[in-house]
Amino acid sequence: MGVEVPSTNELLDFVPVAQYSDHADGRRGGPLHLSALLPAVSAAIGVPIATPVHPDPERCRVALGMPKASSAIVVLVDGMGYWNLAMRLGHAPYLRSLMNESANQRPISTCTPSTTVAAMGTFGTGTCPGLTCMTGYTQRNPDTGALCQLIGFKEAPDPLDLQRQPTVFERLDERGVRVTTVGLPKFADSPLTKAALRGPAYVGDISPSQRALAACRAARSAGLTYLYIRDADKIGHNYGWNSQRWIAAFERIDAQLALVRRNAPKGTLIVVTADHGMIEADPGQRIDIASEPLLSAGVAMVGGEPRAPMLYAETDANADDIASRWRERLGDAALVLTRGEALADGLFGPIDARVPTMLGDVIVAARAQTTIVDSRSQTDKATRLPSVHGSRTMMEMDIPCLIDVA
């Protein structure tokens, strides 16, 4: 039985706020969430690691349908959302074979915002952006008051100080479990790795096939192996996820995953997931704050990203007034919330006391194919990316959790 892809209107419509808990009670999220994945894998390999939002890893394992195994390989493909995958299965024989299994035909949810920084912290710690203090591509640095960028931690706090939640990898290592990460050499000691994914021994290689084989070699001993693949996101941002370049990259990713499947030791649990999906931006729906006085009035800084901007009010400006003007101007093009409303809705999950000072006074989520940019502070290229993510649509929020056993 194949996967039925919803209409474009459905895919670009908002989904309910995901819940952070262990209970599958019909609401979005719960154990069917990116935050539950590593706790569930820890239970699968026999060393359950509880987290503040997932105190029962075994419940997560059962809900996600993971069998028990002594060794597991978790592969995260950056930018390969569930519906991006479902619409391109003709190019991916291995992934298509997994999606033919009914157990793999249900997406799980990523976090809000649906972007790499927030999702990597959520994934690595098994918690949520509200606890990791990693709430977007850019956010306010409370020490300086200026914007900081969290992919490279530019103008940002020390990664170990900003993100204080222990990672699942760290917790497993402390309990004597073999934990290995395989990725590009340049990511071994990156600030983002230190913040969100610290703990494992790191194996780096510039060759995709050699990284796949290195993951399989690590899996020969009991424990957890994590393999990161970035190409879908990188190509999507530069050329668009509907481009021939993206399709070619997707085919290479499938081949890399198939290589893992062929070479993993017998009995290895293999889990394929992602951090977010991607939508194709419409240049005609691009809104530039710099050219719209109604939007720029009272706004000192714009953080977040084009699908999920955060607005930082000037000292003498009122956040409610800014939100009201934005609602009037944007109408159905975006959902506009004050910070208080966003926190009350549980948008970021449970909240560390430091987080409100980092968040914008107004939190915006773009609908349809809208992007909201600020050419005063963002490069022209950054404001015109052909494919983007970060908002709360089905296309961006739904991610795969594909389970296989070698």
State percent of the chain over pLDDT 70. Answer: 100
pLDDT at 1: 57
Task: For CATH 3.30.1360.180, list the domain ranges present in the chain.
Answer: 283-384
Task: For CATH 3.40.720.10, list the domain ranges present in the chain.
Answer: 8-127+165-280+393-405
Q: How far is CA 291 from CA 124, 286, 330, 376, 388, in A?
A: 39, 11, 14, 9, 21
What is the Rg, in whole angstroms, of the alpha carbon atoms belonging to the chain? 20
Domain 283-384, CATH among 2.40.10.10, 3.40.50.11540, 3.40.190.10, 3.30.1360.180: 3.30.1360.180
Interval 205-234 mean pLDDT: 98
Residue 138 to residue 164: CA distance in whole angstroms: 18
What does CATH list as the number for 8-127+165-280+393-405?
A: 3.40.720.10
pLDDT band at 27 (very low <50, low <70, confident <90, very high): confident
pLDDT band at 26 (very low <50, low <70, confident <90, very high): confident
pLDDT at 159: 98
State percent of the chain over pLDDT 90. Answer: 97
Q: What is the pLDDT of residues 127-158, one digit of tens each?
A: 999 999 999 999 999 999 999 999 999 999 99
Strand partners, 216: none
Residue 139 to residue 156: CA distance in whole angstroms: 9
Inform me whether the pLDDT recorded for 2 exceeds 80. no
Interval 341-362 mean pLDDT: 97
Residue 368 to residue 360: CA distance in whole angstroms: 22
Q: What is the pLDDT of residues 170-218, one digit of tens each?
A: 999 999 999 999 999 999 999 999 999 999 999 999 999 999 999 999 9
Q: What is the pLDDT of residues 296-336, one digit of tens each?
A: 999 999 999 999 999 999 999 999 999 999 999 999 999 99
Q: What is the pLDDT of residues 29-85, one digit of tens each?
A: 999 999 999 999 999 999 999 999 999 999 999 999 999 999 999 999 999 999 999
HEC profile of the chain: CCCCCCCHHHHCCECCCCECCCCCCCCCECCCEHHHHHHHHHHHCCCCCCCCCCCCHHHHHHHHCCCCCCEEEEEEECCCCHHHHHCCHHHCHHHHHHHCCHHHCCCEECCCCCCHHHHHHHHHHCCCHHHHCCCCCEEECCCCCCEEECCCCECCCCHHHHCCCCCHHHHHHHCCCCEEEEECHHHCCCHHHHHHCCCCEEEECCCHHHHHHHHHHHCCCCEEEEEEECHHHHHHHHHCCCCHHHHHHHHHHHHHHHHHHHHCCCCCEEEEECCCCCEECCHHHEEEHHHCHHHHCCEEEEEEECCEEEEEECCCCCHHHHHHHHHHHHHHHEEEEEHHHHHHCCCCCCCCCCHHHCCCCEEEEECCCCEEECCCCCCCCHHHCCEECCCCEHHHHEECEEEEEC
Residue 370 to residue 332: CA distance in whole angstroms: 10
pTM: 0.97
pLDDT at 25: 79
Interval 229-243 mean pLDDT: 97
Residue 269 to residue 219: CA distance in whole angstroms: 9
Average pLDDT taken over every residue of the chain: 97
| Among 375, 369, 361, residue whose Cα is nearest residue 139 | 361
With tokens 């690590």, the residue in question is: 218
